[in-house]
Each structure stands twice: as C-alpha cells, then as structure tokens.
Amino acid sequence: MSTTQVTRALFDEVMVPNYNPQQMVPVRGEGSRVWDQDDNEYIDLTSGIAVTSLGHCHPALVKVLKEQADKVWHLSNVYTNEPALALAQDLTRETFADKVFFCNSGAEANEAAFKLARKYASDHFSEEKNEIISFVQSFHGRTLFTVTVGGQPKYCQGFKPVPGGIHHAPFNDLDALKELVSDNTCAIVMEPVQGEGGIIPANPEFVRGVRELCDQFNALLIFDEVQTGMGRTGSLYAYMDTDVTPDILTSAKGLGGGFPVGAMLTTDKVAPSFNVGTHGTTYGGNPLACAVAGEVLRQINRPEVLEGVVQKNALFNSELEAINAKHHIFKEVRGKGLLIGAELVDEWQGKAGQFLAAAREQGLMILMAGPNVLRFAPSLIIPDEDIREGMAKLEQAIAQLLSTAEAG
C-alpha cells in the first residue's frame, strides 16, 4: 500500500507538466457546489469547462450510470448495444442529423468530421478537393489534425510537420473567407460561439454567408458544437437558433454530463463515405457513456431547462454589469446562454489567471478563455441564489485584486 499523501504537491511530482491546476483538490460535488480536501466549499461556475451541465452528481444521471454498471460496461464495435442505439435514435430525432458516429472526446469528434469531409470530397469530386478552412482563434481539439485546423498557431509550435491543406480566415469576416474558398475546399468548420478563443459569437449574416459559400463550392459546413451544444446557449444545439443547418455537427463536453463521450452527427447524404472499415475507435458507443448521455439529453432537452438558460444569462449579465459599474474592470460582457465571457479592460489584459486564483480564495470556481477573458459556464440548472452568491464572491475577488494592485 502506498503511504504517499495525495495532495496538490504530488501533481508536480508525478504528472506530466502540461497542466498547472489550481492549488486545491476537489473531492466531492453536488449541484453547483464543490468541496476540497479540507472541506472548503466552492461555488462552481465552470462545470468542468461546460461539461457537467446538470451540476455534479445529478441524481438522475447517478441512477442511470449505476443501473448500466450492473448490466454491461463495454462490448466494442464488433457488437452494437442498446444505449448507443437509443442515444443515436434520440439525437437524430431531435436534430437535422440522420446518422451518428460515437467517440470519446471533442477532438475525436472533430477528427472524424475532418476525415469524413475529405473522404466525401474524394468519393464525389476529386482528391484535390481536400482543403479545410477554419477561423483565426478557433479551437477544435489537440490531436495533430484538429490542433492544426484550430486557429491558434501557438498550440502547433514544436509539433511540425503538421497536416497540410488547412487555411484560416478571420472570424466574422465574409470577404476574407471569399478570398480563401475555392473548388478545392472540402469543408468550412466553425464554432457558433468561439469558446477557447474568447467567447466570440458568430454574426447571423456571417453564418448565412458561410452556408452560402459552402453550397456554392460544394463544401461541407461543419459546426463544432463541442462547447456550444447540449443546451449551453439556450437551444439544444446552437445551430437551431441560426438560419442555417450544417452538414456535420460535432458534440462532446456537455453531452455526457461528466462521462467522457463524443459524437459526430451527419446526414444520409454524407454518412456513406464512412463505409465499413474506414474509421473507428474501440470505446466509441460505450454503453456506460451512451446510457448517461441519453439521460443528459432527456434532462436538458426540455423547454423549462432551455428557457432557464436564457433567463440565467440575463441574471449573469445584470450581476456582471453591477460589478462593472463599481469596479470598471470589464471592457465587454458577451456570449450566449450560459457561455459568458467578460473581457478585461486594457490594464488587466493578460491577467485573467490572477482572477481565477483570487476567485478560488473566495470559494469560487471560474474559467478563463484566453488570457484576457473571464469565462463563466455553470450548470444549466444552477439555482439563481448560487449565481448571486457566486457573483458576490467574484466581486470580493475583484475588490481584493484591485486593492493589492493599488497598494503595489
């Protein structure tokens, strides 16, 4: 038996240093509250980066997970299973999609989407039609292909050579996109609201224009809804609140409510290009993951939950505006539903990390989206009292940071 004490310090000893987690270790969560090893309580406005969208340990999810745990855990794709089929049926019924491919993460869902787009173009047009266009500041995952499609070159540094045929246009700039798109474009991929890039919503006219360009050049439109999907912006998927329908949509994060699962959704037109043997993953469609995701979908896809997201957005905005009226710390508050970004004023740009640490000291968990933006992505069913209490803690954290800055 190991006698090592499991503390935050152990992380630096035994973990690959690609993360630098906060100086506390959460051990328990319930709803929008989390407790650390010393039993300090936190209000969680992160949901593990837009993942635990029904809060921690939602009783309905715990029940489904435990029931499935007593039935069957894993079968591989040599056999299909009931939870995967039921989830695929639900997703196709509730969305534009006719067909679903399951995997385990957002990056894998996007990897599948990009491969499918190339395969489809190769099947129906030519091998030369292989170019993928995405947008500056976009984020699509960390595999070599998805990180290259993402529009943040710093994440590719040191990993060259990277896959070719990938171009980036400025976001929300249709004219720039027109310069890049051609008959060799097989797909354009976009986030309806750029998440990691700073919580930047796409303009409605831009979204329409991207769809038109895709149609004009026989390119597929891929919506990366890994962060915006599953109710996060107030509709089941964010595309539903636009005038357009994508050809491929990727979902992960909130899909499993905390159980790792990803999905790529597409149409009967496109799906056949992934014929038997062309793509796959061992865990894809895992019964535990799909049973939980099925329940997440049932819980979230209800008018009262989705309308609640819109109402809670308004509460967040008014609370953040009140903080700003006092402290003049935000340049802009933006986002959609419960994916909210507060961009720091110029003096504080680059310092979002300090706010995370200061919030933690006050018993509050928040996120950043790049170095200049505080991000809030709480449970979609967070009680209004928890939002108010969380915002009170945020104000304390800000007041504290501002007073030490003045003193220093």
Ligand X SMILES: *Cc1c(COP(=O)(O)O)cnc(C)c1O
Q: Is 131 in the site for ligand X (CB under 6 A)?
A: no
Q: At its nearest, how many Å lie between ligand X and the CB of residue 7?
A: 26
Rg (CA), the chain: 21
Which one, 261 or 329, has the nearer CB to ligand X? 261
DSSP state of 182: -
Q: What is the spatial distance between Cα 342 and Cα 369, in angstroms, rounded to a whole number? A: 9
Give catalytic residue positions. Answer: 139, 224, 253
Which one, 42 or 139, has the nearer CB to ligand X? 139
DSSP state of 56: B
Q: Check the annotation: does 107 bind a ligand.
A: yes
Which one, 210 or 401, has the nearer CB to ligand X? 210
Residue from 252, 297, 356, 401 that binds ligand X (CB under 6 A)? 252
Q: At its nearest, how many Å lie between ligand X and the CB of residue 227?
A: 3
Residue from 58, 119, 140, 360 that binds ligand X (CB under 6 A)? 140
Q: Is 231 in the site for ligand X (CB under 6 A)?
A: no
Which one, 3 or 18, has the nearer CB to ligand X? 18
Q: Check the annotation: does 7 bind a ligand.
A: no
Q: Which residue has the tokens 């994508």?
A: 246
Residue from 46, 47, 81, 105 that binds ligand X (CB under 6 A)? 105
Q: At its nearest, how many Å lie between ligand X and the CB of residue 35?
A: 25
Q: Check the annotation: does 268 bind a ligand.
A: no
Interface stretch with ligand X, choices 8-16, 102-110, 354-362, 378-386 (CB under 6 A): 102-110
Q: Is 229 in the site for ligand X (CB under 6 A)?
A: no
Q: Check the annotation: does 226 bind a ligand.
A: yes
Which one, 191 or 386, has the nearer CB to ligand X? 191
Pairing, β 248-251 against β 220-224: parallel
Which residue has the CB atom at the shortest distance from ligand X?
Answer: 106
Q: At its nearest, how many Å lie between ligand X and the CB of residue 226?
A: 4
Which one, 33 or 375, has the nearer CB to ligand X? 375
Q: What is the spatial distance between Cα 146 and Cα 163, in angstroms, rounded to a whole number? A: 9
Size of site (CB under 6 A) for ligand X = 15
Q: What is the spatial distance between Cα 106 and Cα 255, in angstroms, rounded to a whole number? A: 10
Q: Is 196 in the site for ligand X (CB under 6 A)?
A: yes
Q: Using CB atoms within 10 Å of the CB of residue 76, give its burial: 0 to 12 exposed, 13 to 18 middle, 19+ buried.
A: middle
- Of 176-195, binders to ligand X (CB under 6 A) are 191, 195
Q: Check the annotation: does 16 bind a ligand.
A: no
Angle in degrees, 0-180, between the axes of helices 384-407 and 352-361, rounded to the nearest 10: 110
Q: Which residue has the tokens 């709480």?
A: 378
Of 246, 203, 210, residue with least CA distance to 336: 203
Interface stretch with ligand X, choices 63-71, 138-146, 327-335, 390-398 (CB under 6 A): 138-146
Q: What is the spatial distance between Cα 326 and Cα 333, in angstroms, rounded to a whole number? A: 15
DSSP state of 203: P
Residue from 107, 117, 255, 380 that binds ligand X (CB under 6 A)? 107
123 touches 130 (CB < 8 A): no
Q: Is 106 in the site for ligand X (CB under 6 A)?
A: yes
Interface stretch with ligand X, choices 134-142, 282-290, 310-318, 345-353 (CB under 6 A): 134-142
Q: At its nearest, how many Å lie between ligand X and the CB of residue 395?
A: 28
Residue from 47, 95, 134, 227 that binds ligand X (CB under 6 A)? 227
> Burial code of 86-120, b = ≥16 C-beta within 10 A, e = fewer?
ebbebbbeebbbebbbbbbbbbbbbbbbbbbbbbb
Q: At its nearest, how many Å lie between ligand X and the CB of residue 329?
A: 25
Of 111, 83, 88, residue with least CA distance to 98: 88
Pairing, β 330-336 against β 339-344: antiparallel
For the chain, report the end-to-end CA distance as a whole number of angstroms: 48
159 touches 214 (CB < 8 A): no
Dihedral of CA 228/192/150/246: which sign?
positive
374 touches 334 (CB < 8 A): no
Q: At its nearest, how many Å lie between ligand X and the CB of residue 304?
A: 26
- Which residues in this chain contact ligand X in the complex, by CB under 6 A? 105-107, 110, 139-141, 191, 195-196, 224, 226-227, 252-253
Binding residues for pyridoxal 5'-phosphate: 106-107, 139, 224-227, 282
